[in-house]
Chain A
Amino acid sequence: MKIVVCIKQVPSAGDAKIDPETKRIVREGSKSVLNPFDLYAVEEAVRIKERKGGEVIALSMGPESAKNALIEALSMGADDALLLCDRAFAGSDTWATSYALSKAIEKIGDVDLVICGKQAIDGDTAQVGPGIASKLGMMQAANVLSVDAVSADSLTVKRMNERGYDVLRLKLPALITVVKDINFPRIPTLRNARIARKKEIPLLKPADIGADPDKLGLAASPTRVVKTAPPAVRESATLNIAGGSGEAAAALVNELSSRGLL
């Protein structure tokens, strides 16, 4: 089974800044991490490979520094990684990004399954996965919380809904987006991390994947960001409660109650 897992490098949750002029996320100088939801996608892809055989290819789009996210995916067990990296991709919204990634998946060829995290924590749109499926004409299931069966031509999954879950059988090739309940992502071993860092990660330009440059980048992106703002910083603090154990326990209960936590 050939599995492509689409991942994104995002600013660390505590490190995100927004340019007040362009209203876009300032990525330079901020710590970047692999989008947390994509960890679950990588883990699920590797688990399916371990059960059924095949290969896992991690795919991303971004600046060269996004290689770090791909290295993490390789460390977790992906076999190969590709990075769409060119100025022509810059500024792409979910529409243009879906197009670029779908062209890369077409170029990879014979892909049975595409797995994405349910959304990226920077844009929070949850549109790219379904967008890729739509452009590739694949069956899709978003918010998958378990992959129950995998056969040569189908995939049975549980899809989360407001009341519980639906059980779906998808004909392959298909795309799923996964939620964090699906698994617990492994922590790479040192050996795998060292091998991953030595692996070559090809940088692909639009021409390499047969993409039309007019459908990429800011100019080809119909989304217009009108307003953005960083979330309020949540302060943490240590509360010291004096007194004997009974007195302190009562004070703690009062404190938690007053904050609506009990």
Chain B
Amino acid sequence: MAERHIEGYHVEIIPPKQDSQKLEEDLALFASKLTRIRGSGFMASITDNAMGLLAFQGHECIEELGIDIDPDKILIHLNTFHTKQNLEEILDECRKLGIFNLLAISGDGSTRLPKLRPEDVDATGTASVTSVELTRYIRKRYPEFNVGVAFNPYEPEAHEFEKLKRKLNAGASFVITQPIIEKNAIVDKLIEMYPDLPVTIEAWMSKKLYLLSDVVGYPIPEDAEFDPIGTLKQLEKDYPQCGFYLSLLGFKTQYPVIEEMAAERAARE
């Protein structure tokens, strides 16, 4: 299977939570967002129990609701908090749906989520499964999948680049960064070191910048002003070769602006 390149806008969507009190409503909203993203020609990035909060899986929402999708424009996040049986089911179901883009991440656990064991993914010489072992397993057992990995420019640089090397050696073929809000020297270095590696930059679309405090590793004041759209526009100028992953995008007010930006970008190209 030809390797797919991940570019343009990725719009993050979160499937309904397991404890939803209005599940049908939430499912309808999920379906309408997915349909809208498809109509715009963007990539829909569907999270996997984000923040360790139990949610339904993206593929089962698509299947159960019979949502019409463009499989090449779906990116399924897959973390290490599953049983082996769950993992195989997710991969098999994605394959049936024709979805071959995955983002392998270590993920956030909780007491309610199981954790893959090294033997589940044929890993030896390690006490725990990370995105490296997960990527290697998927690429070995399911070589038709196009597996992306995360890159965190806030981690110690040498450590993060060494980890990225292991992820790429395991078979990863694209990268999505943690959110940045301005030109970032570590991301610049990543692009310089791997000029052929598709890099998608996460753009933070919430006005609540302080929610990024844990990611960046220092406190951001709650009243810090932040212009997500303006920041995205600047990032697009700084990184014209990259795709953009839009997290916490507002569908009512921000989405139409993003569509306009995409149309302008297409006209320019």
Chain A residues at the B interface, C-beta cutoff of 8 Å: 33, 36, 39, 68, 72, 184-185, 187-191, 193-194, 197, 238, 240, 245, 248
Cross-interface CB contact of B218 among A187, A189, A240, cutoff 8 Å: A240
Q: Which residues of A contact B64 (CB under 8 A)?
A: 190-191, 194
Establish whether residues B21 and A187, one from each chain, have CB atoms under 8 Å apart when the complex forms.
Answer: no
Interface of A is mostly: helix
A-B contacts counted at CB < 8 A amount to 41
Cross-interface CB contact of B57 among A72, A190, A240, cutoff 8 Å: A190
CA distance A185 to B113 in the complex (A): 9
1/0 per residue, CB under 8 A from A, across B5-24: the answer is 00000000000001101011
Establish whether residues B83 and A68, one from each chain, have CB atoms under 8 Å apart when the complex forms.
Answer: no
Whether a CB of chain A sits under 8 angstroms from the CB of B156 is yes
Of the candidates A72, A190, A238, A240, the one having the most CB atoms from chain B within 10 angstroms of its own CB is: A190
Could you give 22 example pairs across A and B, Cβ below 8 Å?
Answer: A39-B112, A68-B19, A72-B19, A184-B83, A184-B114, A185-B112, A187-B112, A187-B113, A189-B60, A190-B27, A190-B56, A190-B57, A190-B60, A191-B60, A191-B64, A193-B18, A193-B23, A194-B24, A194-B64, A238-B217, A240-B217, A240-B218
CA distance A184 to B109 in the complex (A): 14
Establish whether residues A36 and B23, one from each chain, have CB atoms under 8 Å apart when the complex forms.
Answer: no
Give the nearest-CB partner of B56 in chain A.
A190
Of the candidates A68, A185, A187, the one having the most CB atoms from chain B within 10 angstroms of its own CB is: A187
Closest CB-CB distance, A34 to chain B, in whole Å? 9
Interface residue ranges of B211-237 to A (CB < 8 Å): 214, 217-218
CA distance A191 to B59 in the complex (A): 12
Of the candidates B61, B156, B217, the one having the most CB atoms from chain A within 10 angstroms of its own CB is: B156
Question: What's the tally of chain B residues with a CB closer than 8 Å to chain A?
Answer: 24
Interface residue ranges of B188-244 to A (CB < 8 Å): 214, 217-218
Q: Which residues of A contact B18 (CB under 8 A)?
A: 187-188, 193
Interface residue ranges of B1-50 to A (CB < 8 Å): 18-19, 21, 23-24, 27
Q: Which residues of A contact B24 (CB under 8 A)?
A: 194, 197
Cross-interface CB contact of A197 among B23, B54, B60, cutoff 8 Å: B23
Q: Which residues of A contact B57 (CB under 8 A)?
A: 190
CA distance A191 to B27 in the complex (A): 12
Please name the 8 residue pairs, one residue from A and one from B, whose CB atoms are nearest each other, closest first.
A190-B56, A190-B60, A190-B64, A240-B217, A184-B114, A191-B64, A197-B23, A238-B214
Please name 8 further chain A to chain B contacts, defined as beta carbons within 8 Å, in addition to the given A188-B18, A189-B60, sorted by A numbering.
Answer: A36-B111, A184-B83, A187-B18, A187-B54, A190-B56, A190-B60, A238-B214, A240-B217
CA distance A248 to B27 in the complex (A): 46
Closest CB-CB distance, A42 to chain B, in whole Å? 13
Establish whether residues A245 and B156, one from each chain, have CB atoms under 8 Å apart when the complex forms.
Answer: yes
Whether a CB of chain A sits under 8 angstroms from the CB of B159 is yes
Whether a CB of chain A sits under 8 angstroms from the CB of B158 is yes
Q: Which residues of B contact A191 (CB under 8 A)?
A: 60, 64
Q: Which residues of A contact B111 (CB under 8 A)?
A: 36
* Known contacts A185-B112, A240-B217; is-contact A68 B21 (Cβ 8 Å): yes
Q: Which residues of A contact B159 (CB under 8 A)?
A: 245
CA distance A255 to B64 in the complex (A): 49
Interface residue ranges of B41-92 to A (CB < 8 Å): 54, 56-57, 60-61, 64, 83, 86
CA distance A197 to B23 in the complex (A): 9
Q: Which residues of B contact A245 (CB under 8 A)?
A: 156, 158-159
Q: Which residues of A contact B19 (CB under 8 A)?
A: 33, 68, 72
CA distance A194 to B113 in the complex (A): 20
Give the nearest-CB partner of A33 in chain B.
B19
Cross-interface CB contact of A193 among B56, B112, B113, B114, cutoff 8 Å: B56
Give the nearest-CB partner of B86 in chain A.
A187
Interface residue ranges of B146-167 to A (CB < 8 Å): 156, 158-159
Closest CB-CB distance, B94 to chain A, in whole Å? 15
